Amino acid sequence: MKNFKTMTLALGLSSMFALGACGGGDLDEAKKFADELCACKDAACVEKVNKKAEKSMSEEKMKKLTKEKPEEMAKLGVRIGECTMKHHKMPPPPAE
């Protein structure tokens, strides 16, 4: 269950970066978090960086940045999602 929560958070964060629905800062700050996530060697590191990003990002600034640089933010969101998911395996679907 913990892995599912972490994966949900990771996917949520990557979507939020791509869509501008979460915290903000400037593009360099968002890239910094992406670099930190991609440097992670395990899921614990990913969780730590995700929590750090959640605390430092403001919704208004991220929306503005996404509006001003939508292509860059979309690419960044994809990168964040890919780097995050390499440390989290999808749980098997429930048996029917």
CA 44/CA 57 separation, integer angstroms: 20
Q: What is the mean pLDDT of residues 85-91?
A: 71
Question: Of the segments 17-21, 25-29, 39-43, 86-90, which one has the largest average pLDDT value?
Answer: 39-43
pLDDT of residue 85: 84
pLDDT of residue 68: 85
The two three-digit tokens of residue 20, written as one number: 């501008």
Q: Which residues make Cβ contacts (< 8 Å) with residue 22, sequence separation at least 6?
A: 12, 13, 16, 54, 57, 59, 62
pLDDT of residue 23: 41
The domain segmentation of the chain, as residue ranges, is 2-85
pLDDT of residue 48: 92
**What is the model's pTM?**
0.62
CA 58/CA 40 separation, integer angstroms: 23
